[in-house]
Chain A
Amino acid sequence: MPHDHHDHSDDTQGLSPSGHPYKPDQDHKLTRWQAMEIAMRELLIEKGIVTAAEITATVEQMDRRSPADGAKVVARAWVDPAFKARLLQNGTEAIREIGVEPGVLKLIAVENTPEVHNVVVCTLCSCYPRNLLGLPPDWYKQRAYRSRVVKTPRKVLAEFGLELPDTVQVRVHDSTADMRYLVLPARPEGTDKLDETALAALVSRDAMIGVATARHP
């Protein structure tokens, strides 16, 4: 697939005119779209719409967000039944409690149980709980996942290495522009003695999208 993929394997370690190495993505030939980004950014700054500091801060915030934030939510729900109840009742308010700013979007947490497995998609575009998981992986935005997971979810999950018995019901949740889903994976067996930090380390991004389960310690 040509889209959503950048090959950085041929990067060279060139130096900028000031003698500093370029970041790996900066030494390819400038594309029309990159030129558009630079031009847009400069015009927005000159016209006082945004500041350079705001852009830097937004990129930094993007870099800071990671699935670790979502994993903290999951671990808290595993150790604190009252929090879990609040999370399932009103995800948007519950994540505020542990310091994640929900923004304007509604968050719905869906719980995996021995009977039910949940998996999340955005068939229309790429809606994703970025504030809990960071930016979505490429496959989440591509045609194959978006088209197929709603029709043959068990087969798609098997391709991700998750074979579910027929006794488990699979629920596929389709995100919208106004609300996001987080899968609350089942707590693995044999984790009674682990603290919240150790539990969070068992929770991967894929487990919170629903294409995997939480790791066993």
Chain B
Amino acid sequence: METDKIHRWHDMGGQPAGDINREEHDFALWEKRVDALQVLTSSKGYFTVDGLRRVLEDMGEDAFETMTYYERWVQSVNQNLLEAGVYTIAELAERMEQVQSRGETYGECAGSGE
């Protein structure tokens, strides 16, 4: 693998890479909701697509290899909302704990949904 110190890890055009895995999956409801929260909060002016990408890119290559697309997105949207002062890290932590105490699965913990 050639070393290229000029490009950051996400700038991967032209870099060596393996076979293309053409398997596709339908997006899960929680993934679509992450996407929807990004669309809605950015369209309301809480952050920009550049803010979304800044956090994704700063996560580094390891996150790209070990986390799924929307796992990275939820983290980036959350970081941007924290920075915008929409809620505090303490509020988030408290709510996540409460969510996790509701049950074992997404279906149980997400409440009745809409």
Number of B interface residues at 8 Å Cβ cutoff, please give it: 69
* Chain A 123-142 interface 0/1 with B at a Cβ cutoff of 8 Å (1 = within): 11110000000010111011
1/0 contact trace for B56-100 toward A, CB 8 Å? 100000001111111100110110010000110001100110111
Q: Give Cα A94–Cα B69 distance, bound, in whole angstroms.
A: 32
A82 within 8 Å of B (CB atoms)? no
A4-B25, A5-B25, A35-B99 known, 14 other contacts, Cβ within 8 Å: A1-B21, A2-B66, A5-B23, A22-B107, A25-B106, A26-B110, A34-B106, A35-B96, A43-B92, A44-B81, A52-B114, A124-B13, A150-B14, A160-B22
User: Can you list 25 A-B contacts with CB-CB less than 8 angstroms, sorted by A residue number?
Assistant: A3-B65, A4-B25, A25-B106, A26-B29, A26-B105, A26-B107, A28-B106, A29-B105, A30-B100, A30-B108, A38-B96, A39-B98, A43-B95, A58-B35, A58-B36, A59-B35, A62-B35, A124-B10, A124-B11, A124-B53, A125-B10, A125-B53, A141-B69, A142-B21, A150-B13
Which B positions have Cβ atoms within 8 angstroms of A? 10-30, 32-37, 39-41, 44, 46, 49-50, 53, 56, 64-71, 74-75, 77-78, 81, 86-87, 91-92, 95-96, 98-100, 103-112, 114
